[in-house]
Amino acid sequence: MWAALQARASVSSWWLSSRQWKLAFSSSSSAVGKCTLDLHEIEKVLTDVKADDVKVIPSPKYCDWADFMVLATGRSTWYVKNIAQALIYKAKQKQKGADRMMLPSVEGQAGGKWIVIDSGKVVVHALERFRHE
């Protein structure tokens, strides 16, 4: 049994080392900048959907993976889901005609009480009003 496991491990390590791995995203900052929403675009979308209590927190001193964290509240779960959908729609519109779309990462959309939208250097937290207070 032990010999079989060792043989399987050596075959899989050979297979992994012989494969050419290619990243699925572009590493150039100009390509990432065209695909993600910046702070001004996010603020405009939140103003258009009439999100409540919008707060922008600069975060470079707290974390190195985001420049800003944006907090916005909605009056109900439907409203919070609408905020997330509006941001995703704006990201799709920005990339219209692109070969490959890079959409923001979204967590919590099923529940709708607290949704986190990661749009590159800006992370948006959309919360239901009573969750925020």
Q: How confident is the model at residue 112 (pLDDT cuts 50, 70, 90)?
A: confident
CATH code for the domain of 61: 3.30.460.10
Instruction: Flag whether 123 is in a domain.
Output: yes
Predicted confidence at residue 129, as pLDDT, reads 82
Instruction: Flag whether 98 is in a domain.
Output: yes
Instruction: Flag whether 11 is in a domain.
Output: no
Enter the tokens of residue 21.
């791995």
Number of domains making up the chain: 1
Instruction: Flag whether 105 is in a domain.
Output: yes
Q: How confident is the model at residue 14 (pLDDT cuts 50, 70, 90)?
A: very low
Instruction: Flag whether 22 is in a domain.
Output: no
Q: What mean pLDDT is reported for the chain?
A: 76
Predicted confidence at residue 97, as pLDDT, reads 79
Instruction: Flag whether 3 is in a domain.
Output: no
Name which residue leads in pLDDT, 11 or 114: 114
Instruction: Flag whether 82 is in a domain.
Output: yes
What is the value of pTM for the model shown? 0.68
Instruction: Give pLDDT tens digits for 18-77.
Output: 444 443 433 334 444 555 788 899 999 999 999 988 999 888 777 778 889 999 999 989
- Could you give the maximum distance between any two Cα atoms of the chain, in Å? 65
Q: Among candidates 84, 86, 90, 82, which has minimal Cα distance to 35? A: 90
- How many angstroms separate the CA atoms of 9 and 92, rounded? 43
Instruction: Flag whether 55 is in a domain.
Output: yes
Average pLDDT, integer, range 123-132: 81
By residue range, what is the domain housing residue 54?
A: 28-132
Strand, coil or helix: 126: strand
